[in-house]
Structure 1
């Protein structure tokens, strides 16, 4: 009797994430997933049951890894405006880095492609967005307490404005240059 091959599920999810991130959910074929993960089709579907279930797992992994990095920046050292600038500039850096294609944000890409049509993907993306919004709101509130951001402004509304700007950088980053994106960051900080 042949032994089943062992594999690292995190590695498989990371590899699948790269495929979905590069092509989107609909355009990623079973063959793409097999090629990226190194698993046979049967093993892949036995482990994750379906393409959709594997995609859900990649969104969870994205939240665990990539969203956590955004939150860490906002909870790090420095003034609130410095931390917010660091967050927005991390997006600019990623979007202007040398690579074959501007992939944007997996959550934004999923929202654009699937929101309203796939309730599970919509909920997962909503959780990603909410997590960043909450961290932004907390940073803004700290900045208001420290006198770095006007205290008479609604912290939640400022967080939503900044979140919208951050994800807008992701979309514009597919075509805009670094100078344009940095100008947007500067404008957001002036608005705060």
Structure 2
């Protein structure tokens, strides 16, 4: 017997779970919050996520990667100026149109919010930030290959700098609301990749 068919859209439910985790954090997202947002009952939840909330969060992190990192990587390889694309990516974090609002980085938040008891989740979040760093490195390598970078710093060093900037600006945005000030701060930091 195949069992009961799914009566919900798993990707849509996962996207809604991402919203809850992003807003409340892993520890503060209750089962009720998640079930209500996802629009599914407990039975369906535990059938789909046998590992419970932890498995859901793991899948939510993968979903964020699948939706965003592939698109960024493709854009880097398709555009004429990957250095400008990275600059625009960072500058796009400022203001009302920011793709992540004021919620910060999904993975950075996880590193800060998840307790040591859930060290596997922390490691997974760190892994995904390292993946973002590798995408930055691809952009810097391509920029160097195209003659778009004046700096002699190696692409790996620039990528480490950029992931540090990514982590820092996502914290700074929570305390500084002046878009003009944030833009100037980003431009100052991004001068490294001239």
Deviations 1:139-162 (A, max 9, x none): 212222233213521210111101
Choose the corresponding residue for 1:54, options 56, 59, 65: 56
Counterpart CA distance in 1 for 2:144 and 2:6 is 55
Structure 1 residues 90, 37: closer, same or farther in 2, change over 3 A? same
Counterpart CA distance in 2 for 1:112 and 1:70 is 24
Shift of 1:72: 3.5
Counterpart CA distance in 2 for 1:190 and 1:142 is 18
Choose the corresponding residue for 2:76, options 66, 74, 77: 74
Asked whether the 8 Å contact 1:111–1:122 carries over to 2, the reply is yes
TM-score by length of 2: 0.85
Shift of 1:73: 3.9
Counterpart CA distance in 2 for 1:145 and 1:117 is 44
Aligned to 2:107: 107
Asked whether the 8 Å contact 2:107–2:125 carries over to 1, the reply is yes
Counterpart CA distance in 2 for 1:175 and 1:71 is 30
Aligned to 1:145: 145
Aligned to 2:132: 132
Structure 2 unaligned runs (5+)?
none
Counterpart CA distance in 1 for 2:145 and 2:98 is 39
Secondary structure class of the residue paired with 1:174: helix
Counterpart CA distance in 1 for 2:140 and 2:147 is 10
Q: Which moved more, 1:18-27 or 1:171-180?
A: 171-180
Shift of 1:88: 0.7
Structure 1 residues 62, 190: closer, same or farther in 2, change over 3 A? same
TM-score by length of 1: 0.85
Aligned to 1:23: 24
Asked whether the 8 Å contact 2:27–2:114 carries over to 1, the reply is no
How many residues get paired?
Answer: 188
Shift of 1:66: 2.3
Asked whether the 8 Å contact 1:73–1:86 carries over to 2, the reply is no
Structure 1 unaligned runs (5+)?
none
Asked whether the 8 Å contact 2:92–2:98 carries over to 1, the reply is no
